[in-house]
Amino acid sequence: MDDSIRKDHDWELFDCLSLFLRNVSRENWTLLDNVWCVNKDRFFSKVRNVSSNI
């Protein structure tokens, strides 16, 4: 009896956690994507400058 209640509670907790992680990760991926895009441009422009100086 006690065991099944604990399992149910674990599942609920797991559901909440996975939902939370899914939402967080989606926002983080968008954020990381934006950061990467900005830095990528910066990085490649630096590389271009260096290679043009050689």
Over residues 8-29, the pLDDT tens digits come to: 777 787 887 888 888 777 777 7
pLDDT given for residue 2 in this prediction: 57
Question: Poorest-confidence range of 3-12, 14-23, 38-47?
Answer: 3-12
Q: What is the DSSP letter of 1?
A: -
Q: What is the pTM of this model?
A: 0.33
pLDDT, greater one: 11 or 5: 11
What pLDDT is attached to residue 14? 82
